[in-house]
Amino acid sequence: MTKIYKTFLIILSILFIKQSFAEDEIKIGISTFLSGGAASSFGIPLKQGLEFMFNAINEGKVPAPYNTPGIGGKKVSYFFIDEAGGATKQVSEFRNMVQRQKVDVVMGYISSGDCLAIPAVAEELKQLTILIDCGTPRVFEEDSYKYVFRTGPHAAMDNIAGALYLKRKGIIPKKIAAINQNYAWGQDSWADFKGSIDIFFPKTEIVSEQFPKFLSGQYGSEISAMMVAKPDLIHSSMWGGDLESFIIQASTRGLFRNSKVFLSAGDHVLPSLGKNMPKGVIVGARGPHGDLAPDTPLSNWFKENLKKELNIKMTTQPMHKGAMAALFLKKAYDQAIKESSNFPSTEEIIGIMEGLKWDTPSGPAVMSLGKGHQAIQDMAIGVTAWDKKEKRTKLVDIEYFKAECVNPPDGVKALDWIKGGFKGANC
């Protein structure tokens, strides 16, 4: 046997081994904010939640019914890309993950602008894609998709529940102001809250509507306009670095002393702000996440172990959203293996994912909207208070809302459902 021939056999063996390992893995590309103003309080925690859950899945350490190693028996191989840069960049990165890096699944996306851009490309490339966060209802209200699922509920429930919270607590707003980022997320959130207020409190006056540019960072003129308007309630769906900056600037000028404030998705800034977070602020978390999560074995396992691993005092919504998405994949692929004993094709797994119900650290979720491609779950809202013992701001005075109370029926646009008086709501 010649030396060249032996070398050839070695190379073939290496290639065969690499191919065998590749066939035993499910490769996932994930987009989240790793830089910029959206990274520290949202993008990085989302990454941490996914890393924790995928590692636990690979090791078979997740509580039952997820206590078997891997997804569909395959080890999870994953990597992250930076979502910063805008929708055009994300579309290019998406194509790269699919066509060059040959991923099995694409996951991620926090910005609603990115989530409106990605689905059409996913359909073109026939790529299984899991949208983890991005709250605009328009993704599945304006179109339908075969290859795209969203494991987090859309933002309509944040704002419907916010209005219901006021009603339950006997808080009757007479004058409302709003400050929301000027893109799909902020515009849709304010429309849903304003529509809900029109139903529950029809005599309320809107005295100021502010739409600063996303990631602008400075809100002096908007704060001045709201202080002049003297609202008794302020609504904001701002998030990330924008929300942190707004809270610090508004607190310094006394805005929180004179107006009740509702932050529809603001829990994720509580750890970074600490004592700088005013008390008595009404806060949502895009679902029952973090302090709002239910008391279940899976929820308690996730929160306690993630806090221990990261040496943090509380978990927040992006961490929980990552866990929800990871367990959605595991539930679907494990169910496929149970039903047929074979690892499913993309077409086969879509059939299982449509309408799927699965358990999460934030309680049950189900693909009820978007023809079985859009998740809903229960909602919860609380109020900020400083906990001296734990030395952190936590959420207290919590109210819970059934998923069917704060989400429209399938095929009905959220804003139409709101304006129609929440017909069929199960509260």
Domain borders along the chain are 3-154+295-377, 156-291+379-419
End-to-end CA distance of the chain: 78
Both structure tokens of 199: 């139903």
d(CA 398, CA 380): 7
pLDDT at 194: 98
**Where on the phi/psi map is residue 209: left (φ > 0), alpha (ψ -120 to 50), or beta?**
beta
Residues of the chain under the 70 pLDDT cut:
1-23
Q: Which two tokens stand for residue 401?
A: 């809302």
Question: Using CA atoms, how far apart are residues 322 and 327, in angstroms rounded to an integer?
Answer: 9
Q: Spell out the residues 6+ positions from residue 153 whose beta carbon is closer than 8 angstroms to its own.
A: 286, 287, 365, 374, 375, 376, 377, 379, 403, 407
CB atoms within 10 A of CB 254: 11
Cα–Cα distances in angstroms (integers) from residue 116 to residues 31, 77, 122, 211, 330, in the given order:
14, 27, 11, 20, 25
**Residue type at 169 in one-letter notation:** K
Q: In the CATH scheme, what is the code of domain 156-291+379-419?
A: 3.40.50.2300
List of E strands, 252-378 = 260-263, 282-284, 357-360, 363-369, 374-377
Q: How much is the pLDDT for 130? A: 98
What DSSP designation does 355 have? T
pTM: 0.92
Domain 3-154+295-377 classified CATH 3.40.50.2300?
yes
pLDDT of residue 2: 57
The two three-digit tokens of residue 361, written as one number? 């650290």
Residues 6+ apart with CB under 8 A from 92: none
Quick one: CA dihedral 256, 258, 259, 260, positive or negative?
positive
Give 285's contacts (C-beta < 8 A, 6+ positions apart): 265, 266, 267, 268, 291, 292, 316, 317, 380, 395
- Angle at which helices 112-125 and 87-99 cross, to 10°: 30
Helices (H), 201-230: 220-229
Do the first three CATH levels of 3-154+295-377 and 156-291+379-419 match, i.e. the same topology?
yes
Element at 400 (helix H, strand E)? strand 392-401
